[in-house]
Amino acid sequence: MQSENVPRRSHYYTLDTGGGKTIVAVAYIAALMREDLEMRNAVDTVVWSSPKSSFQSTIQLVGEWVREAGLKAMALPSTGVPQRGAFNIVNDDHLRIHLEKLVADAPRCFYVFDEVDRFYNQTQRTSAALELAQTCFRSLCMTATPLRSNKYVRRHAAQHAC
């Protein structure tokens, strides 16, 4: 159960394919940055996890939406350190490769886990995403695939409920 004094750290969106998950996420983050003083003071970077199959199109689509706000979307630098003031798009299979550096910067980051249904199984990718979700300032999980029955996910959710 969430305490009234503790901000909600994570949200989960399920929207149909083509339902506008990307624009909803960008608009949500922009609204939080405008209206949530705590977030505005704490977060200076967005890290957006994307499957390899949609990696380039995610950079392009997010870039189109954030350009109006004077921001940019870019691939996570090869160093694994997110570029401040940008939407850093990372292939979700690379979360584990850059985990140490991403965790170090996570408290100042808002994380988006796109196609979070790819994290339902107990894998290194899932473990990395769970660690980042627990250490980042706030996160958003999105999918067009409804949550399947998965004992691992249910157990984790019960242990880490806000």
Going along the chain from its start, the domains and CATH numbers come out as 10-159 (3.40.50.10810)
The confidence score (pLDDT) of residue 158 equals 62
**pTM passes above 0.85:** no
The confidence score (pLDDT) of residue 21 equals 86
Closest by CA to 48, choosing from 101, 108, 92, is 92
Q: With 90 as the cut, is the pLDDT of residue 118 above it?
A: no
Tens-place pLDDT, residues 77-117: 999 999 999 999 999 989 999 999 999 999 999 999 988 87
The confidence score (pLDDT) of residue 144 equals 83
Residues 6+ away with beta carbon under 8 Å from 27:
65
The confidence score (pLDDT) of residue 78 equals 95
Using CA atoms, how far residue 103 sits from 3, 53, 63, 110, in Å, is 25, 24, 24, 12
The predicted model gives 142-148 an average pLDDT of: 73
